[in-house]
Amino acid sequence: MSSHPFSDQAQPDPAAPLLLFDSGVGGLSVLRKVRERLPQAPVIYVADNAGLPYGAKSEAQIAARVSGLLGRLTERLKPRLVCIACNTASTIALASVREVLEVPIVGTVPAIKPASAMTRTGAIGLLGTAATIRQGYVDRLEAEFAADKHLLRHGAPELVAAAEAKLRGQPVDPAVFERAARSLREQPHGESIDTVVLACTHFPLVQDELAQAFGPGVSFIDGSDGIARRIDALTQHQDWRKTRPDRALFTRGGIEVDQLGAVLEAHGLTDIGVV
């Protein structure tokens, strides 16, 4: 019998953690929702901060980096499930990661389907990284769920940097959020946007600032509720046992990690280290 924690689909090792993966702090917006549903779950949060930002990388770079890292991490940390809490990595590398890993993988999908059900004006904004908004994956979601709507896309790397800075307690220029709102508003049909898809896990962390910039009458939607529901469903009837403090692991240590201490602790991650 294999020693893999998921070799017996019904009962993995109760201490086997959920592994949440992102390029930086964005996956914490997903972890919040996972904690609400599964407060008893042991968690390891991994941030590939040495590779941040993924949004500026090529498809080939992201696919190679994410599959390689997750392959090694899964071997070493033996999670019962891996959540790629990053739209960029999911829309590009989910299929190749699923090919190489045996554990269940939950990816992050831009919330175009629920946005399509929410909009009254038929104009939906989508904010993601530059890499995410050009993916065929997004084209397919648009064709399937928003073919009769106007889906306006904008790649906003500045918002990734803003979320990273905000969580470190650093000041962020409000012009960053105004520029993101304006880039959508200035596109054809942009003036009637009433729903904005936050298609990058960093962006819910600056949702209040974005709401301010868009003004009243705009609702925001992201994929984190759906992910938490999916993880809950895939782990139904499994036992959980916490045998050690939950960990946050980074691919590069130093001051940029030290500055996150309080935020990580607020998310229940008290054992901080480098992969």
Specify the stretch interacting with ligand DGL by CB under 6 A; choose among 83-91, 212-220, 244-252, 256-264: 83-91
Q: What residues form DSSP beta bridges with 124? A: 151, 195
* Stretch (H or E) spanning 127: strand 123-128
Q: Considering the complex, what minimum distance in angstroms separates the CB of residue 88 from ligand DGL?
A: 3
In angstroms, the CA 28 to CA 263 distance is 9
Specify the stretch interacting with ligand DGL by CB under 6 A; choose among 9-17, 22-30, 140-148, 224-232: 22-30
CB-nearer residue toward ligand DGL: 13 or 22: 22
Scan residues 43-72 and list those touching ligand DGL (CB under 6 A): 52-55
In angstroms, the CA 40 to CA 242 distance is 7
CB-nearer residue toward ligand DGL: 6 or 250: 250
Residue positions annotated with a catalytic role: 86, 200
Burial 212-247 (b: 16+ CB within 10 A, else e): ebbeeebebbbbbebbbebbeeebeebebeeeeebb
The percent helix, strand, coil of the chain (3-state, each to 5) is 45, 15, 40
Q: Considering the complex, what minimum distance in angstroms separates the CB of residue 92 from ligand DGL?
A: 10
Q: Which of 12, 18, 23, 193 binds ligand DGL (CB under 6 A)?
A: 23
Residue 129 binds ligand DGL (CB under 6 A):
yes
In angstroms, the CA 82 to CA 235 distance is 12
> At residue 206, what is the residue type?
V
Q: Considering the complex, what minimum distance in angstroms separates the CB of residue 109 from ligand DGL?
A: 11
Q: Considering the complex, what minimum distance in angstroms separates the CB of residue 43 from ligand DGL?
A: 17
Residue 132 binds ligand DGL (CB under 6 A):
yes
C-beta of residue 206 within 8 angstroms of C-beta of residue 159 = yes
C-beta of residue 241 within 8 angstroms of C-beta of residue 42 = yes
CB-nearer residue toward ligand DGL: 32 or 189: 32
CA-wise closest residue to 152 among 180, 120, 117, 118:
180
C-beta of residue 89 within 8 angstroms of C-beta of residue 62 = yes
Q: Which of 87, 116, 135, 195 binds ligand DGL (CB under 6 A)?
A: 87
Q: Which of 86, 146, 152, 231 binds ligand DGL (CB under 6 A)?
A: 86
Instruction: Provide the mask over 160-199, with x wherever binding to ligand DGL is found by CB under 6 A and - wherever it is not.
Output: x---------------------------------------
Residue 91, helix vs strand vs coil: helix
Residue 200 binds ligand DGL (CB under 6 A):
yes
Q: Which of 49, 67, 74, 88 binds ligand DGL (CB under 6 A)?
A: 88
Place of tokens 């996972």: 34
Q: Which of 17, 26, 104, 110 binds ligand DGL (CB under 6 A)?
A: 26
Query: What is the contact surface with ligand DGL in residues (CB under 6 A)?
Result: 22-24, 26, 52-55, 86-88, 129, 132, 160, 200-202
